[in-house]
Amino acid sequence: MLRNYKENDEVKINELFYEVFKSKRSLAEWQWKFSHPLNRKPLITVYEEDGEIVGHAAILVVEGKVGDRSVLFGERVDVMVHPSHQGKGIYKKIIHHLMQQCEAQGIDLVYGYPAPKAKDLFIRYMDGKEITYVPRLLKVLSPGKAAMSRFAFLGKASFIFKSMDKALKNKRKLPDALTVTKLDQADKRIDHIWEEGSKDHDILLTRNASFINWRYFSHPSRTYEVYIVENQSDAIGYIVLKKEIIEKNNEKLELIHVIDLFFPDKGQNRKDMSSALQHITKGADLISVWSLPNTAQDKLFKKLTFIRVSRPMPLVAKSMNNKLDPSLIYNSSNWYVTQGDVDSY
């Protein structure tokens, strides 16, 4: 039986999540994701059989902009069918039901970052179109440690490699005119950065203080670091980092993910944001970031000698509003996306 979500379904939805993805999700994380305080109720479809939820699909509703329009984006998430019930057409049914909800609720643009098989189903059943595969860039700050972690025999010459890494470390100080502050809550300065920076992009999610507080400061299981960058007269941008330790062949490497880096591209902001990023990541061994070509952010990363190592994530979208220009929507050069746009990072 197809139906909308009802209270307390989340227990069985999480059980299904584990059966499909083999990953345990707490109720706190479900509540963060689907009961967030951004005043937009998510759309959730379930398929129930003999009292059990065996199919599920959801849309997270978030505000954003397309061209000069304020629109409602719907991120397609957690589309799943229990392994023992696959092949019965449940997937198609829950997707069609979900799209009907999107139409009824006035969603303007549905998008997602599905796995390869799910991407094909998104295109087939939701009439979506592939926009691009988002490139992943990498900068290696400790090539010696990176080499030793990959080839154990190089550990015999560890002194040489560690000395090389020490010599390569960034020793430049932050310019006196800049201040970089780690936040514990987003405030009106973030709203100002969003209002100015959004003018540089045609298609992107709203990144105001309310979004930042929900997305990064309210997450029950992940830890992020949010920094605001200011010059002597203004807040010019923010940077969101997530850190992890990689252990291999007795080497520990600190990998920093740049989850978001946002600023209005004017004056010397790009140069200042580059200085700020180098300052807050100087202890890292590796830095990773998603970055679409042709944005000011991508030019910043390329100048810092980040290199493209993969294109791991497809971006697929479906316009639900015939007033939106398809040539704008389906052209990847008009999008600004980061890992922060994906709930699983």
Within-domain flag for 41? yes
Task: Express each pLDDT in 36-82 by its tens digit.
Answer: 767 688 999 999 999 999 999 999 999 999 999 999 999 999 999 99
Task: Tell whether 122 and 185 lie within a shared domain.
Answer: no
Q: Supply the pLDDT for residue 159.
A: 46
Task: Domain of residue 66: give its range.
Answer: 2-127
Within-domain flag for 330? no
Q: Is the pLDDT of residue 171 over 70?
A: no
Task: Tell whether 298 and 259 lie within a shared domain.
Answer: yes
Q: Is the pLDDT of residue 25 over 90?
A: yes
Residue 39: helix, strand or coil by DSSP? coil
Name the token pair of 136: 């992943």
> CA-to-CA distance for 207 and 184, rounded, in angstroms?
16
Task: Tell whether 90 and 168 lie within a shared domain.
Answer: no
Count of structural domains within the chain: 2
Cβ contacts of 322 within 8 Å, gap of 6 or more: none
Please, what is the end-to-end C-alpha distance for the chain in angstroms? 32
Within-domain flag for 108? yes
Q: What is the pTM of this model?
A: 0.92
Q: Supply the pLDDT for residue 157.
A: 45
Name the token pair of 157: 């010459």
